[in-house]
């Protein structure tokens, strides 16, 4: 039987495990409630650079030793930076958990930030930035966030810019770390063949070097959704188009409603957009809807990739489907979307890595693991009336955000799209 246990250490560090006794492996990691939006105005990209530098040598290990020690026992270690979180994680056989804990603690408490390694890693990130700029569907999402949250850290690309990345010193990285990597903002989580009490002892012993209080208060800039229009003409085969609106924060009453609505509109092959735009009309090869939550805001969007010649017909069809969602949603659509989300949740619990990440996110957002029954109850309370009301408020009452890249000569002007999403237009279409 799987069991979630949580212990808060005297230092303030939180340790959580879910024992999955039928497994032979453990997924574990450290999640920090800090990401790119916790950077100051002149630290753009430093959170991601720190994540890279953590693996480039410590007081006890070289970069090569970090890689070799974990791989010598068949394990793997990696990290990721997002807008609001950073994670360092490993997958290991159950007998090698102490090694993984030791390595993760080592890179988070004793990284050396060697100057030569720093210069090399800066160049690696410059290549990463260049590679991302060559991928239109990456660029369109970066431009989308920048437009939705103009001139704010929450809207900046996580990688930074070549100029900012090259400017950072080891001392500046240490300052960011000291301000954000503190025990009150960190969670060590393991899922799989793990013994909670033994794991707590290992973490307590090895993570004792973490700062308890920040060297300076963390940056907490409240997000302000702005919306707007951002187009970039490029000589490409296809146009990438993103149309979006202000979504709901994780704690908002309508968060799970927004997830269901996104699923109904564009969450799979049976969704409205896929069926109407791709299957019925053949206007694009990719179309889907999504909803991203943050701690204080969110984003609801529709992404489509198509040839530029299809844009004059594509955009009105997408707008029409958004209008229809505010007018009518079928109960069967809700049941299907709810079933898909529940299945994804339960299937994820069969993977220790997915489960560890899920528990960590719940701890950072809600301060506790959320039982499956509670999540199901939240989803079961979503009605047709709530969804149509939400769709009307999302699509008619907020300024849209449009981001597009590629051959855009036939893409409708923004004022035409806004007019199509007005309540007056919706009423006229319904009459």
Q: Which residues are catalytic?
A: 51
Residue among 37, 14, 21 at smallest CA distance from 294: 37
Asked if 29 contacts 104 with a C-beta cutoff of 8 angstroms, the reply is yes
For residue 48, how far is the Cα from the chain centroid? 14
- DSSP letters of 367-389? SSPPPHHHHHHHHHT--HHHHHH
Q: How far apart (Å, rounded) are the C-alpha atoms in residues 400 and 226?
A: 9
For residue 5, how far is the Cα from the chain centroid? 25
Q: How far apart (Å, rounded) are the C-alpha atoms in residues 314 and 318?
A: 6
- CB atoms near residue 289 (< 10 Å): 25
At residue 428's C-alpha, the angle toward residues 427 and 431, to 5°, is: 90
Sheet with 25-32, edge to edge strand ranges: 3-8, 14-19, 186-192, 25-32, 86-93, 76-81
Question: 203: which residues sit within 8 A by CB, 6+ positions away?
Answer: 9, 13, 15, 101, 105, 188
Question: 293: which residues sit within 8 A by CB, 6+ positions away?
Answer: 247, 248, 249, 250, 252, 255, 258
For residue 132, how far is the Cα from the chain centroid? 17
Asked if 81 contacts 31 with a C-beta cutoff of 8 angstroms, the reply is no
Q: What does the radius of gyration of the chain's CA atoms come to, in whole angstroms?
A: 23
For residue 93, how far is the Cα from the chain centroid? 28
Q: How far apart (Å, rounded) are the C-alpha atoms in residues 201 and 211?
A: 18
Asked if 268 contacts 205 with a C-beta cutoff of 8 angstroms, the reply is no
And the tokens for 228? Answer: 């707007």
Q: How far apart (Å, rounded) are the C-alpha atoms in residues 323 and 97?
A: 52
For residue 40, how far is the Cα from the chain centroid? 20
Asked if 396 contacts 423 with a C-beta cutoff of 8 angstroms, the reply is yes
CA dihedral 36, 40, 42, 48 (to 10 degrees): -20
């Amino acid at each position: 039987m799987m069991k979630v246990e949580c212990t808060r250490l005297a230092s303030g560090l939180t340790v959580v495990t879910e024992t999955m006794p039928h497994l032979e492996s453990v997924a574990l990691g450290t999640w920090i409630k800090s990401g790119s939006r916790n950077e100051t105005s002149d630290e753009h990209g430093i959170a991601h650079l720190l994540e890279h530098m953590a693996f480039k040598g410590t007081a006890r290990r070289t970069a090569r030793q970090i890689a070799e020690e974990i791989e010598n026992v068949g394990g793997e270690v990696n990290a990721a930076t997002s807008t609001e979180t950073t994670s360092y994680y490993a997958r290991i056989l159950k007998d090698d958990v102490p090694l993984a804990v030791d390595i993760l603690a080592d890179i988070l408490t004793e990284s050396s930030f060697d100057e030569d390694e720093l210069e090399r890693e800066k160049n690696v990130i410059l290549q990463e930035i260049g590679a991302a700029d060559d991928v239109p569907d990456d660029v369109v999402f970066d431009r989308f966030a920048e437009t939705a949250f103009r001139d704010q850290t929450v809207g900046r690309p996580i990688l930074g810019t070549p100029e900012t990345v090259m400017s950072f010193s080891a001392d500046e990285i240490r300052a960011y770390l000291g301000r954000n990597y503190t025990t009150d903002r960190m969670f060590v989580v393991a899922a799989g063949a793990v013994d909670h009490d033994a794991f707590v002892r290992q973490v307590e012993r090895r993570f004792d070097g973490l700062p308890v209080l920040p060297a300076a208060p963390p940056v907490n800039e409240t997000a302000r959704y702005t919306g707007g229009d951002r187009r970039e003409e490029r000589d490409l085969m296809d146009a990438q188009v993103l149309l979006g609106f202000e979504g709901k924060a994780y704690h908002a009453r309508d968060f799970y409603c927004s997830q269901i609505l996104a699923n109904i509109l564009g969450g799979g092959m049976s969704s409205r957009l896929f069926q109407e735009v791709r299957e019925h009309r053949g206007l694009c090869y990719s179309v889907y809807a999504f909803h991203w939550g943050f701690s204080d805001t969110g984003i609801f969007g529709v992404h489509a990739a198509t040839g530029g010649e299809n844009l004059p017909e594509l955009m009105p069809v997408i707008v029409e489907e958004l209008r229809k969602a505010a007018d009518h949603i079928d109960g069967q659509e809700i049941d299907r979307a709810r079933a898909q989300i529940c299945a994804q949740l339960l299937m994820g619990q069969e993977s220790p890595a997915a489960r560890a990440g899920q528990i960590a996110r719940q701890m950072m957002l809600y301060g506790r693991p959320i039982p499956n029954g509670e999540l199901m109850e939240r989803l079961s309370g979503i009605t047709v009336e709530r969804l149509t009301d939400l769709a009307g408020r999302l699509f008619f009452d907020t300024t849209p955000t449009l981001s597009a890249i590629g051959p855009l000569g036939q893409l409708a002007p923004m004022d035409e799209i806004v007019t199509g999403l007005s309540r007056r237009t919706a009423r006229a279409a319904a009459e």
